Amino acid sequence: MALLSFLGAIQQVTGSCYLIESRDGAKVLLECGMRQGRREEDEGNRAPFPFDPLTLDAVVISHAHIDHSGLLPKLVGAGYRGPIFATEASCELLELMLLDAAQIQEKDTEWENKWRARQGKAPLSPLYTTEDAEQALKQRRPQAYSAQVEVAKGVQVTFHEAGHILGSAIVEMQVQDHHLTRRLVFSGDLGNTCSPLMHPPTTLDRADLVLLESTYGDRDHRNNQDTLDELAEILQQAHRDGGNVLIPAFAVGRTQDLIYYLGRFYQEGRLPQQAVFLDSPMAIRANAIYSRFQHLFDPDDHAAIAHKPARRIEDWLPILRCTPTPEESMAINRVKSGAIIIAGSGMCTGGRIAHHFKHNLWREDCHVVFPGFQAKGTPGRAIVDGASSVKMLHQRIAVKAQIHTLGGFSAHAGQSQLLDWVSHFDHHPELYLVHGELEKMQILQQTLRERLNWIASIPEPGEQIAI
Ligand SMILES: [Zn+2]
């Protein structure tokens, strides 16, 4: 019998990692994600892998988000030289994500070492370097959706659209073990059927074993149309107040959704602002990748925005101005009213949004819109929770702006969508809940039992099962 080890994103949402070993000797790592969030997670990222990287035959990645791919350079740094399989669009996004992650590691370590030197402590080396990331990128093996590929002896993989971000995939894996073939389906991160651009997640009907993400296992999202109307109303109010609108957003996924929504408002005459600045070099590069893969967009959403083929997704919003250079970014500071400024980081932990906060957050006529989740301990969360001031760029900035959070823009399936997706499988395969906080998984587990009469298991970190 083959073995499956639950190594990461077990009873939590980051650090996805699963190991599949067949008796015929094939060894495949499914996901190599970084743990994110609290400081303690750093130690988890630094701990040695619980397997020997040199013995792996292949690595398979569901999508480019760092919590699914961010330890690939560390794996390569530890000597792994085999193939890394992902969809074509994911392979392109990985270049953006891994080089950025490596740069952050190098910069953070340099900063930390300055403090350590003053305390007489030995310097630390970064978790990985740009060189490791570049090596990992050389090992990519891009695959088309729906095409089956043998990733290791007796292990076939097919990627299906997951509808979460560009290139995101559900991973179907057939593992041959002596003369027995077992079919494992890993949901990856399943998209929200209401979010624009991406196709709805592909439904599958055959599996022996399913690993189901459960990020929002406890609830449904707010109605998408209500959220859009709320955003339109905020933009009208900001226009009446006369200030700028700041939107901290993740560079990949959320920013492109925003360009799409603002483009539709513009077409419908519902966008009173004069200019939208996209002040994020990474988001601008992500736009270029999204533009190249427009054939993967949901045709209805695409038709609603693009009456003629657009070469670049920026063309959807004629008043969008991209500001890649620091000079262009600083010039935005002179704009005191009538602009929407989209910048990273998504949780305000750094990046150019901090500079825009410095110039706007203390103004009563400014509006800040949070379109995404803000984790505990981040400046974004402090602002959402009503802090009267936040520390940013080594100074305290008063929060006088009007703060809004939008609940309906999640890129993850809500509870009903998870139930619907999993209900397509014939005769109840073994079901394991992953990628979720324990309380949310328990609610999903109970709902699965009540509505589908289906028993799901919640694995423990490090648990190993025979498949
Ligand atoms: Zn994701």
Residue 452 has which token pair?
């589908």
Cα(71) to centroid of ligand 1, in Å? 15
Q: What confidence score (pLDDT) does residue 37 get?
A: 72
pLDDT at 135: 98
Question: What pLDDT is attached to residue 282?
Answer: 95
Distance of CA 364 from the midpoint of ligand 1 (Å): 35
Q: What is the dihedral of CA 185, 191, 197, 203, to 10 degrees?
A: 40
Tell me the C-alpha distance between 410 and 228, whole Å.
12
Between the CA of 168 and the centroid of ligand 1 the distance, in Å, is: 8
Go through the domains of the chain in sequence order and give each one's CATH number.
3-219+411-466 (3.60.15.10), 224-405 (3.40.50.10890)
- Spatial distance between the Cα atoms of 271 and 263, rounded to a whole number of angstroms: 9
Q: What is the DSSP string of 272-337?
A: --SEEEE--HHHHHHHHHHHHTGGGS-HHHHHHH-SS--SSGGGGSTTEEE--SHHHHHHGGG--S
> From the CA of 424, how far away is ligand 1's center (Å)?
22
pLDDT, position 257: 95
pLDDT for the residue 195: 84
Chain Cα centroid distance, residue 100: 14
CA of 115 to the centre of ligand 1 (A): 34
Task: State the distance from the centre of ligand 1 to the C-alpha of 467, rounded, in angstroms.
Answer: 26
pLDDT of residue 401: 97
pLDDT score of 224: 86
Residues in the chain, overall count: 467
Q: How many A from CA of 175 to the centre of ligand 1?
A: 25
How many Å lie between the centroid of ligand 1 and the Cα of residue 448?
23
Q: How far is the CA of 68 from the centre of ligand 1 (A)?
A: 7
Tell me how crowded residue 39 is: count the other CB atoms within 10 A of its CB.
Answer: 7
> What is the mean pLDDT for each group of 10 consecutive residues in the chain (467 residues)?
94 94 94 85 90 98 96 98 98 97 94 94 95 98 98 97 97 92 97 91 97 95 90 97 96 94 95 96 96 94 82 94 96 94 89 94 96 83 95 93 90 95 95 95 97 96 95
Q: How far is the CA of 454 from the centre of ligand 1 (A)?
A: 26
Structure tokens at 132: 């490791």
Q: How far is the CA of 252 from the centre of ligand 1 (A)?
A: 10
**Cα 439 to ligand 1 centre (Å):** 20
Ligand 1: centre distance to CA 177 (Å): 31
CA of 165 to the centre of ligand 1 (A): 7
Beta pairing partners, 181: 176
Eight-class DSSP state of 345: -
**Integer Cα distance of 146 and 13 in angstroms:** 27
Ligand 1 midpoint to CA 70 (Å): 12
CA of 278 relative to ligand 1 center, distance in Å: 22
pLDDT at residue 345, as a whole number: 86
**C-beta of residue 195 within 8 angstroms of C-beta of residue 158:** no
Q: How far is the CA of 411 from the centre of ligand 1 (A)?
A: 8
Give pTM, 2 decimals. Answer: 0.93
Nearest-angstrom CA–CA distance, 454 and 445: 8
**Bridge partner residues of 341 (DSSP):** 246, 277
CA of 407 to the centre of ligand 1 (A): 17
Quote the ligand 1 centre to 422 CA distance (angstroms).
18
CA of 358 to the centre of ligand 1 (A): 30
Answer yes or no: are the C-beta atoms of 286 and 89 closer than 8 Å.
Answer: no
Helices 224-241, 254-268: axis angle to 10 degrees equals 70
CA of residue 190 to ligand 1 center, whole Å: 8
What distance in angstroms lies between residue 14's CA and the mean position of ligand 1's atoms? 9
Residue 155, pLDDT score: 97
How far does residue 63's CA lie from ligand 1's centre (Å)?
Answer: 7
Q: What is the DSSP letter of 427?
A: S
Q: Say how far apart CA 134 and CA 73 lie, in whole Å.
A: 8
> So what's the pLDDT on residue 376?
76
CA of 169 to the centre of ligand 1 (A): 10
Amino acid 147: pLDDT? 98
Q: How far apart are CA 124 and CA 109, in angstroms?
A: 7
CA of 66 to the centre of ligand 1 (A): 8
